[in-house]
Structure 1
Amino acid sequence: MNFGYSEVCLAHDTGKRHPENPDRLRAIRQALTRKHGVEYVESPPATEADVTAVHDEGYVKELREFCDSGGGNWDPDTVAVEATWDAALESAGLAKWAANSALDGEDGRATPFALGRPPGHHAVEDDAMGFCFFNNAAVAAQAVIDDDRAERVAIIDWDVHHGNGTQDIFYNDGNVFYISIHEDGLYPGTGEIEEAGEGGGNGTTLNAPLPAGAGDPEYRSVFDELIAPAVLEFDPDLVLVSAGFDAHRHDPISRMRVSTEGYGMLTAQVRELADESNAALGFVLEGGYGLDTLSDGVAMVHEVFDGMDPVVPEEEENEEVREVITELLDTHPMFE
């Protein structure tokens, strides 16, 4: 794979005890040194025009001034320093690079994966939250639409937390289909089945909130029965994966049971889906806070594109997840 990466993202220093710290990228780089066919690519940072396409201008100005003054705690969880401004623009720029590279035809072993931080999917139009300042995937999706490179973009978010920011930004927009599979009730407490979009975006939000303990069989079934048919119906030009790895069974801040091999399964499923829908495909890093599980997850994505055939679990999904699938099939506008 081609990995977008910049040392600028390491300068966003949240402190050693903060779960979203520079060691996340260092661990990923270390794990990838043992893999064949890894290429690193630098890209220009996002511009203020790029980020104000999805964020309020007043918020962007406030964040720049906050960082210029030395930063601090934006909220109890979201920490900034002076260098956070440049890192956030760089992270959004890497996501934009992934989207454009995919649309340029980079696929197979050259599939793009943006290794940026801070992450983005909690950043709403006018606020930072949940370790996120600019919504990287949203910036990328809007940029390629505004540049007439794509008419429709699907964002598949497999981070364990619901991407409330991405959902909110595109909730009334029928050109972007936001799909999230996440742990029910976990931060930020959004992402209910009933949240399906409004106005022109009616039906282009799909949430699959799963109970704690869901693992590989449950994720497989949700992808096969909900995500794949919905994306095929939407018919995107580009699929972006908001790739968090905190649903791993050993991640320190979630209770899900996805294995490292399970992330390989998800990667193979999304690659097959992009091929079937004739869509470009790119990945954007979100969460993942166990250094070993995060780095192993990213390395597993690479392994699949390097030829590995992941194991697909034979077990059936549990009854609680079957109920989620049934309710969405019965009520979501995409399945009418």
Structure 2
Amino acid sequence: MQFGYNEVCLDHDTGERHPETADRLRAIRRGLNKRHGVEYVDAPPASRAAVEAVHDEGYVGEFERFCADGGGNWDPDTVACGATWDAALASAGLSQWAATAALEGADGRKTPFAIGRPPGHHAVEEDAMGFCFFNNAAVAAQTALDDDLAERVAIFDWDVHHGNGTQDIFYDRGDVFYASAHEDGLYPGTGAADETGEGDGDGTTLNAPLAAGAGDADYAHVIEGALAPALDRFDPDLVIVSAGFDAHRHDPISRMRVSSEGYALMTDLLRDVADASDAALAFVLEGGYGLDTLSEGVAMVHETFDGRSPVAPDGEPDEATIDLVESLRTRFDL
């Protein structure tokens, strides 16, 4: 794979004991450097105009001034320093690069993966939250649409937390399909199955809130049983994966049971989903706070594109997951 990376992202300092640290990127790099076929690409930062295409101009200006004044706690969880402004633009720019590279033909062993920070999927149009300042996946999707590289974009979010920001930004839009598989009831408390979009976006939001303890078979069942048929009908030109790795069974802040092998399985299934629509495929880093499991998860995505076949999951999906997918199929007439 090609990994978009920018040293500026290391300068975003969240302080001691914060789970979202520069060590996350360092751990990913250490893990990838042991693998074959890894290529790193630097990309320019996002422009202010690109960010303001999905974020309120007033909020962007307030965030810039906050960083210029030295930063601090934007909220109890979301921390900035003076360098966070540049890091956030760099992270958004890496996501733009991933989407654009995919649409320009980068696939197979060249499939792009943006490994920037701060992450993005909790950032709403007018505010930062949940460690996120700019919504990287949303910036990437909007760039693809504005540059006439795509007419329809799908975003699938496998982070353990629901991507409320991405959902909100595109909730009334018919040209972006947002889907999420996440732990039910976890921060930020959004992502119910009946949140399906409104107006022009009616039917272009699909949420699969999974019970705590869901594992590989459950996530695979959501992708095969609900996401694949929904995206087959939506027919996207680009699929962006908001790739968090905090649903891993050993991640310190979730109760899910996804294995490292499970991320390889999901990657393989999503590659099939994109291929079925002849869509480009790009990955954007979100969460993941166990350094070893984060590093291993990203490496499993890479190895899947490098030719390694994933192992089928042990066991069957939980009965609650089967019922959820059946209800989604009924709700979306799949």
TM-score (norm 2): 0.99
1:52 alignment counterpart = 52
- What do residues 213-248 of structure 1 show as CA deviations (whole Å, max 9, x unaligned)? 000111111110001111111000000000000000
1:158 alignment counterpart = 158
One-letter code aligned to 1:231: L
1:77 alignment counterpart = 77
What are the within-5 Å matches in structure 2 for residues 236-251 of structure 1?
236-251=236-251
1:9 alignment counterpart = 9
| Distance in 1 between residues matched to 2:124 and 2:191, nearest whole Å | 14
1:222 alignment counterpart = 222
**Percent of residue pairs bearing the same amino acid type:** 70
1:282 alignment counterpart = 282
| Distance in 1 between residues matched to 2:242 and 2:312, nearest whole Å | 22
One-letter code aligned to 1:103: L
Query: Is 2:308 the partner of 1:308?
Result: yes
1:269 alignment counterpart = 269
| Distance in 1 between residues matched to 2:321 and 2:147, nearest whole Å | 39
2:174 alignment counterpart = 174
| Distance in 1 between residues matched to 2:101 and 2:273, nearest whole Å | 18
User: Structure 1: 5+ residue runs without aligned partners?
Assistant: none
2:91 alignment counterpart = 91
One-letter code aligned to 1:109: R
| Distance in 2 between residues matched to 1:168 and 1:222, nearest whole Å | 22
User: Structure 2: 5+ residue runs without aligned partners?
Assistant: none
SS across alignment from 1:156? strand
- What do residues 184-236 of structure 1 show as CA deviations (whole Å, max 9, x unaligned)? 00000000000000000000000000000000111111110001111111000
SS across alignment from 2:262? helix
- What do residues 40-64 of structure 1 show as CA deviations (whole Å, max 9, x unaligned)? 0000100000000000000000000
Query: Is 2:41 the partner of 1:41?
Result: yes
What are the within-5 Å matches in structure 2 for residues 106-121 of structure 1?
106-121=106-121
2:22 alignment counterpart = 22
What are the within-5 Å matches in structure 2 for residues 101-140 of structure 1?
101-140=101-140
2:187 alignment counterpart = 187
SS across alignment from 1:187? coil
2:257 alignment counterpart = 257
| Distance in 1 between residues matched to 2:67 and 2:263, nearest whole Å | 35
| Distance in 2 between residues matched to 1:284 and 1:157, nearest whole Å | 10
| Distance in 2 between residues matched to 1:328 and 1:41, nearest whole Å | 39
| Distance in 2 between residues matched to 1:294 and 1:104, nearest whole Å | 28
- What do residues 86-145 of structure 1 show as CA deviations (whole Å, max 9, x unaligned)? 000000000000000000100000000000000000000000000000000000000110
One-letter code aligned to 1:240: I
One-letter code aligned to 1:6: N
TM-score (norm 1): 0.99
| Distance in 1 between residues matched to 2:143 and 2:306, nearest whole Å | 29
| Distance in 2 between residues matched to 1:12 and 1:313, nearest whole Å | 37
One-letter code aligned to 2:291: L
- How far is the alpha carbon of 1:320 from its aligned partner? 1.1
- How far is the alpha carbon of 1:314 from its aligned partner? 4.7
SS across alignment from 1:308? coil
SS across alignment from 1:134? coil
